[in-house]
Amino acid sequence: MVGSLLLAGAGWVGFRGWQARTSLLNAASLARELSAQIVAGDAARAQRTLAALQEQSGSARSTTGGPAWWLAGNMPYTGDDLTAVRRIAVAVDDLARKAFPPLVQTDVSALVPKEGRLDLGALRSVAQRLTRVDAAVRDSSASLRTVPTGGLLPEVQDALDGLRVEIDRLAGLLSGMSKGAQLLPALLGVDGARTYLLVSQNLSELRATGGMFGAYAVVRARAGRLELVKQGTAVDLKSFTPPLALDAETRGLYADLPGRYPADVNLTPHFPTAAKLYREMVRQRAGVTADGVLAVDPVALSYLLAAVGPVAVPGYPALSAETVVRTLLADSYLTMDLDEQDDFYAASAAAVFNSLLGRDVNPRGVLSAFNRSITERRILFWSARPEEQRTLAENRLSGILPEKEKAPTVGVFLNDGSGAKLGYYLRPSATLTVGDCQDEGRRELRLRFTLHSSAPAAGLTKAVLGMGKSGDPYSARTLVTVYSPAGGAVVGARLDGVETQLGSGTDRRRQVAIANVEVRPGATRTLDVDLLTGRATGGTPELWLTPTATPWTTQVVPATSCNQ
């Protein structure tokens, strides 16, 4: 009799588990649809999708509740899996009922300026709502972090890992939006005027954060209104002798170049270091003391132009989303001298800036462009006020290379070594493969980096070919800087299958290796690097890459966790 009851109970739980699985799969699909609809501003469809999501998540929560499921969850062998499924169902349902509804109802147009200024009252209201949503998402994330992972069935482990990744991604987005909305009133001068440097990163000459700092603009913010008051270029700032002070690790990797030349401040991938140096250079040479530095690149401009529409640049070619990258990074070097190019960059930034402030634009389109640019690290911001910088510290917008991390991060950063403008023609790719488990919770990682040049073999101007430091002026010399995960190590490297010498150093608890990779027009070079993670570091590894004119092709090949 007892055996029959146990078998019947097991069958009931199994049937309920199948129902929960179906509901959770449907809920996951609906959640992805809902996220896309929120970003696209499709409020009507988002409301319908939200209702369907709540129905499926509620069903999963109800199915995994009750005494029988609880009892089965405390039995040997299957108990941990059933408990994990229950926690997943609760987390998804909490998101559907606490996080997504206020997000669907939020009028994000308050985050976009109208007629040159932001409505600070509406902005505060949005900030409060986003703060509540952010808290709900963080609660779900924290709850899932406490689910034991040892011995789970692969299907349950995969579902748990996938949900953790998605919630962490959503948490990162919401945290950035929430903190940004909270900070914007002060940043926009509600408590007194602010001054910022808007810096263009020239992706034709690569630097670790994207491109060489070229043209800059001085932007004044007062009571929510923005005004462009002055422009200049890195050339105007000349060089600094003696160089500005650098910390020992930065000097060990890059000599005194970041402190000497404005175009080299971002040889380091740690944006706050570059921003501080550039701010001080502008202060000394232009007499402007900035409250912060905002860096953008032409690809980010293309995303904004897709939302704003084509922009006329007086005296120069018009800019559109489809042509701006090629116009700024390739065509201008074929038709303009160096002084004209700097003027064109400055005028282009001013034109897009003024259009963003002056036109009646689709706010969700603009926010989607900003979100994509921040995700790809094409927009970076540093505040000279420590309390504001601390608030932004965990967001990609800050460009901070973290000394501690939840999941191992491998950095692949590119610095031009040619003294040329060949970066537009480079096509990078990277594959990161998770390897064997080692002692002390370390994990082997294998990085394969390839670099292809689509540059022509003839016909480029002196403005593109520059100093030609690689010998052949059409060959691009790129210094590929690989950063290990925090607390990890770089073990060795091979260039096109042959052991290669590496420059080395440390930076922010990471081992750093630098390889010289020279690639001829039409050729491809391959760099393989062996790494180790830090001790007791879990989660799927991530790549942090230098933004380039052509997006990277990337892949991360995961493996089962070491405790399985």
pLDDT tens-digit map of 328-383: 999 998 888 777 887 788 788 778 877 877 777 777 778 778 888 988 999 999 99
d(CA 205, CA 415): 8
Strands 380-383 and 292-296: antiparallel
Flag whether the pTM goes above 0.85. no
* pLDDT at 8 (0 to 100): 33
Closest C-alpha among 84, 237, 228 to residue 150? 84
d(CA 377, CA 412): 13
Name the amino acid, one letter, at 497: G
Pick the CATH number of 194-388 from 3.30.2010, 1.10.3470, 3.30.420, 3.40.630: 3.40.630
Residues lower than pLDDT 70 in the chain: 1-21, 23-25, 28, 35-36, 39-41, 66-81, 107-111, 113-117, 149-153, 155-156, 159-160, 162-163, 166, 169-170, 172-177, 563-564
DSSP 149-169: -TT--HHHHHHHHHHHHHHHH
Which overall architecture, per CATH, does domain 404-557 show? Sandwich (2.60)
Strand order in the sheet with 380-383: 225-233, 210-222, 194-207, 292-296, 380-383
Strands 542-545 and 409-416: parallel
* pLDDT at 79 (0 to 100): 58
